[in-house]
Structures are given as C-alpha cells and as structure tokens.
Homo-oligomer: A and B are copies of this chain.
Amino acid sequence: MSQEQVIKRIGIIGLGTVGEAVVRSLIRYGANIKRRSLLSLQIAGVCDKRSAKAHLASRLSVPFTSDPYKLINDPGIDIIVELVGGIEPAGTYICDALRAGKHVVTANKALLAERGRDILSLAAKQSRIVAFEASVCGAIPLIKSISEGLVACEVNKLYGILNGTTNYILWRMEKDKLDFSKALKEAKLKGFAERNPSIDIEGRDTLYKLCILSYLCFGIWPKPADVPTEGIGNISLLDIFYAQEMGYNIKLLAVAKRIKNRLQLGVHPTLIPEGHPLSETSSSYNSVYLDTEPAGDLLFYGKGAGGVPTSSAVISDIVDIAFYGKVVMRREEKVVLENNKDNASRYYVRFMTKDCPGVLAQISRILASKDISIASVTQKQRGRKNIVPIVMVTHDAKEDNIRKALKRIDALPSIKCPSRVIKMESL
C-alpha cells in the first residue's frame, strides 16, 4: 500500500518507571516504527510533578514541564499518554485531554476499573480514542487480541494470572519452600513488589484488571466492589505443600464465567492441576486462558509488569491511534452480574484438629448436613502441640454452604485454629 510518512506528536504525563521506558523505547525503536507503519512519532514533551525529574528529561533529551496542562492544551500535540496512575488527578487529566481534542493512551487500571464507562462515553462524545493495552498484562497484546483478533467471538470462560507480584510470591513459596513473609521480602528486593504491596497481595490489582477484561469480553463494566475478591495473605506453606502432594499448584486467579447472559466474576487463590500452562506460569509472569467460540481455547503468556516490557504495549496503542485513527470498541451487552453465593465448585479444606477420637466424625457430620460431599480425606501426621491437620477435597459444593459449615466446624472445641478453604478449578 503506498502511504506517505505521517508525523504525530506525543505528550507524556508521568515520568516514573513506565514513562521513562516509553521515552527510551520511542527513541530506541523509532526506526522500526517508521519502517513498519511509516509513522514518525515525536515526543513533544514530558511532564512530572516531581521537578527532580527535569534532570532525567534532560538526560533523555526531551522537553520537560511540571505542568500537565502545558501538554494537554498544546495544539501541536496529537496524543496524550497518561502514566501517572491512581484515580486522581489522572482521571481529570484524561478527561481534560479528551475535551481538548486529544486521543489518550493510558496504563491506569484502577481508574479504568472505577470510571472506565464514563471515560469511554466521554471519548465517544468527543470522537476521540482512549486506548489501554498496557493496563492489563503489560507486554502481552491481550486487549488487541480480544477486541480485534476475537472480534466475532463469545468468551465463555476466562482464567487469568494478572498480577506478577503475587505470582512471584506463590511461585517462590512453592518452589523453594519460602514462607509468605520471606517470599514477599524477596519480591520487594527484586523489584517485583512495591514498598506497600497491599494492593497486589489483597487481590485488588487483579480485580481492577478483571473489571477491564469483563468489559472487553462481556460488554459489562462491573463495580469493583461487587466482585468477590480474596488475596493471598492467608496462603500458608502448608497448603502449598499439601496441594503439591495432590498434583496442584496454588495461583491467584481472576475468574469469569458466562452462562447465557449471566456472568460470574471472582478473584481468589485457586488450586489448578500441574501441567496446565496456567499452573506452570512461573516467576512474575502473567497468563490468561480463554475458552471461546468459535476460536476455541487460547492462552497468552508474557511479562505482566515492568517499565521496559510495558512500553511495548503503550507504543502499540500510540501507533494504532496514529495509524488508524479509530478502534473497534466493545459496546455494552445485556449481561447480568450474578451473585456467586450459589456457585458450585470443588474445594480444598484444611482443618487443624486436636488429636482425639471422634473429630473426623464430627466434621463429616456437619459437612453432610450442608450437602457437602467429600471426594478425598487425608489425615496428616501429628504436628507440634499434638495438632493433626486433616485435608479434604470436596465434590462440587455451594460457596454459601461451605462458609456455613466451616463456621460451625471452627466452633468445635477440637478445632485449634480457623480452617482454611481454597477453591479448585479442573480446567
């Protein structure tokens, strides 16, 4: 196709890890972009509130400002890249940029999860694009694959390892028998975890990404608060060990299942069988498994975080906007978010009991009374202080019944500490 070279001017707000990497990659791989798309992408300016970043900008040879509106209101700029993160002031920057006629590229998952619907409405009203490939699974071209590659498809199920920090911690616990706090400490040392890692550990980062994927796969923006979310803070080395004995790894999964127009969403640690590619997702990698029609099942695997890998996704969005000037949008669909209480699933349960006769009988009786049938039981060797772990795998049971049964079991005098329960997926 004979096309002429086109120049597009970019303003970048936020010169943190990702912002710096985007600047470096635009410079380093500019020739690739030009040869492949005939686009010349020029950095018109970078902005950071921290004036100390002026030195970095000068080392990168790009114009610096500490006032984002210098970029947002610059008529010479075509595309604003928002890499500040957090809800505000990032949300205001994006909306003002759209109102000023700019297209926007963002990696801001929290903002999109909380306000994606409004932001995309505003973009549509302004006939501008908001692109956000970098907001989910870093370098993996997942959003493009779902919205364009699978444009005709129904997604039936989605399972995703969407957070590198928690995957790194679980992987280190599983592989080298580190306990949670040692694995977390190591993740911080290696730069895989933030100084305050609660947003990752508690599953909220995974939740935000699941909300964005729900929009892309099912045409619905769930409220984050409506999605049951459980982090990995309660996962102990003991559970990882018992899971492995049974041929499973424990992963923090984002799960979405659609049956007709009813959608179930959740974020929780999950036992998944070894050998499945999701289960083999190591270190801080991300992976997403999709069960679709007519494309069948698909898996995407790659680096989910880090400035350098993520810069690839940001640039791909910039090129798409500059080259095509429009994007395939998912329009909202008639899908209803369903309460998960009635969902049936298999469960791994661990009880810590006193070593005295009749305990197993008591536990089994309570489970049976709540319609929970047991697939396997293993009574482990007595540990310290005469405490005996009993590990059970249930057949399909309702979440609500499990909670109620465990509440009664945990009140038994022979139970020494709260029972642990983790969902299982067959895949």
Contact = CB atoms under 8 A, between A and B. Distances in A.
Interface of A: 1-3, 21, 25-26, 28-29, 32-33, 35-37, 123-124, 127-129, 133, 139-141, 144-145, 147-154, 219, 275-277, 280, 287, 292-303, 306, 308-309, 311-313, 315-316, 319-320, 323-324, 326-331, 333
B308 A152 contact: no
B36 A330 contact: yes
Given A298-B140, A301-B277, A151 B326 contact: no
A295 B139 contact: yes
A292 B303 CA distance: 11
A interface majority secondary structure: mixed
B151 A32 contact: yes
A292 B300 CA distance: 15
Contact of A149 (B2, B133, B294, B298): B133
Given A123-B1, A331-B35, A294 B151 contact: no
Contacts of A329: 1, 36
Given A37-B328, A331-B36, A148 B295 contact: no
A298 B139 contact: yes
Contacts of A36: 147, 151, 328-331
A152 B26 CA distance: 8
A153 B295 contact: no
A324 B308 CA distance: 29
Contacts of A309: 294-296
Contacts of A33: 151-152
Contacts of A293: 29
Given A29-B152, A294-B308, A312-B153, A2 B300 contact: no
Given A277-B301, A298-B140, A308-B294, A1 B124 contact: yes
A23 to B, nearest CB: 12
B299 A303 contact: no
Nearest to A24: B294
Contacts of A315: 151-152
A278 to B, nearest CB: 10
A127 B309 CA distance: 34
A316 B1 contact: no
Contacts of A32: 151-154
Given A25-B152, A298-B303, 19 more contacts: A2-B124, A29-B154, A33-B151, A35-B333, A36-B329, A37-B151, A144-B144, A145-B149, A277-B299, A287-B299, A292-B312, A295-B302, A295-B313, A297-B303, A299-B299, A299-B300, A299-B301, A323-B328, A324-B324
